[in-house]
Chain A
Amino acid sequence: MWSWSFTWSTLPYILDAMKMTILATIVGFAIALVGGLLLAMGRRSKNRLISLIFTGVIEFVRSTPLLVQLYFLFYGLPAIGISLGPFTAGVLGLGIHYSAYLSEVYRSGIEAVPRGQWEAAKALNFTRWTMWRRIILPQAIRPVVPVLGNYLIVMFKETPVLSAITLVEMLMAAKMIGAESFRYLEAFTLVGILFLILSYASSLLIRRLELKWNRT
């Protein structure tokens, strides 16, 4: 039976854990945004070996489950003297995992920049770095913003996997409430509803950002 009073009593705990979920998403996604760009650019390197190494890293990360990567970071690395807290290991894992996906998104954006843009930049004698920063990336990233936003939401919905490395995010909080009270229905339902609200709100936000950018 559903108990409203129990539901309200668990809400503060779950909202508290929600902060952790959101924080992990933001930090993890920030890592993925930067990491994905570096991977995409590394893969384009004219140096065959560098390009091959980056391609290998991307394929490796994409072909192994996030959960395995998290276990490796959290339970495996201490064996070689690197001990990470659950939050650090969690956002690193999410960040690295998603940077492999985002690198493909960036890649499609970069490849869509017409060849004439690279040639014009070269004819004006831009250095490689300035060309990337001022000519290529602004044109490459704008059209892929919706896809990047979509990955943000996908990543957000995948944060419960961090409960596997003891991070107290929303799912973990609900499990703990259930374990103490033997009532699982209310807590898990709340978690589901909160995920829905947050995902939907972010998708609206992303759509507005998209519209705003398309206007200019």
Chain B
Amino acid sequence: MNFASKEAPVVRYRKVSKSFGDLTILREIDLDIAPGEKIAVIGPSGSGKTTMARLLMTLEEPSSGTIEVDGEHLWHKNVNGKLVRADEKHLHSIRGKIGMVFQHFNLFPHMSILRNVTEAPIHVLGLDKEEAIDRAITMLRKVGLADKLDHYPTQLSGGQKQRVAIARALVMRPKVMLFDEVTSALDPELVGEVLAVIREIAAEGEMAMLLITHEMDFARDVADRIIFTDGGRIVEQGTPEQIFYKPESPRLQTFLSRFRAG
């Protein structure tokens, strides 16, 4: 298998481990994400999928190993040839290249839909209000919610909330977007509308995506590459065809058979 891209990877995990006390969640993960690459991460719960994303979003700190974004260390700084833990200022300077959509949406309940989407462009990127509103409305139109600008999150369905959350992350124009089981908290009939929006964004191409998901059909259609994690390790990876039709490792075969049976 060769996924080496001609371009330098936008994200590079090297021997990244994470443990909480005695519990090891990730064991020496190596992973390169090429610019614009769509990677789906599948695997049983507790296999470390979500933690992979949370380390990149700086929500958790790796126990060991390094992560690079655009050729720069995320969690470390190079001081006189030595890697030292980076401060918040450094994290802040790199974090903007990453965006994330959460399982439970995490919209700001005290703000209208429009303000949910304009808040960060105005107060983080420093855009003036008109430009931020322009950008926000464009994004909300893309996710099909331009008619809900003045609504509040509580007035929306789960699927609508998640689409707002996607717009809120997209409006920051990250280089890499993390989708952390974004349909797991939704009623089954609302899953489709959210996946459709993500498919559409994926088709535009420029942005790399890490999609942590249990939706196998979706993963097969959208991803350039699929990663199967189990027990904190990347057990197998390959194109959707390889992973779904010629799985090599017994663990992946078992995992997939459970889905086919269901």
Contact = CB atoms under 8 A, between A and B. Distances in A.
Interface of A: 114, 116-117, 119-120, 122-128, 130, 134-135, 138-139, 142
28 contacts: A114-B106, A116-B104, A116-B105, A119-B59, A119-B102, A120-B102, A120-B108, A122-B57, A123-B59, A123-B99, A123-B102, A123-B169, A124-B99, A124-B119, A124-B124, A124-B168, A124-B169, A125-B96, A126-B120, A126-B123, A126-B124, A127-B92, A128-B88, A130-B124, A134-B123, A138-B110, A139-B108, A142-B110
B57 A123 contact: yes
B167 to A, nearest CB: 12
If over half of A's interface residues share one DSSP class (helix, strand or loop), that class is named, otherwise mixed; here it is helix
B220 interface: no
Nearest to B152: A216
Interface residues of B, number: 26
A125 B172 contact: yes
Contact of B110 (A116, A123, A127, A139): A139
Given A124-B172, A125-B172, A134-B119, A119 B106 contact: yes
Contacts of B102: 116, 119-120, 123
Interface of B: 57-59, 88, 92, 95-96, 98-100, 102, 104-110, 119-120, 123-124, 165, 168-169, 172
A128 B124 CA distance: 11
Which 8 A-B residue pairs are closest in the complex by CB-CB distance? Answer: A116-B106, A120-B106, A124-B120, A123-B100, A125-B95, A125-B96, A130-B123, A125-B124
A64 B156 CA distance: 50
Q: Point out which of A116, A120, A134, A139 has the most chain B C-beta atoms below 10 A from its C-beta.
A: A120
Contact of A135 (B95, B108, B169): B108
Contacts of A135: 108, 119
Contacts of A130: 123-124
B82 to A, nearest CB: 24
Nearest to A139: B110
A119 to B, nearest CB: 5
Contacts of B88: 128
Contacts of B107: 120
Nearest to A119: B59
Q: Point out which of B57, B102, B120, B169 has the most chain A C-beta atoms below 10 A from its C-beta.
A: B120
A134 B115 CA distance: 11
Contacts of A142: 110
Contacts of A138: 110
A119 B96 CA distance: 14
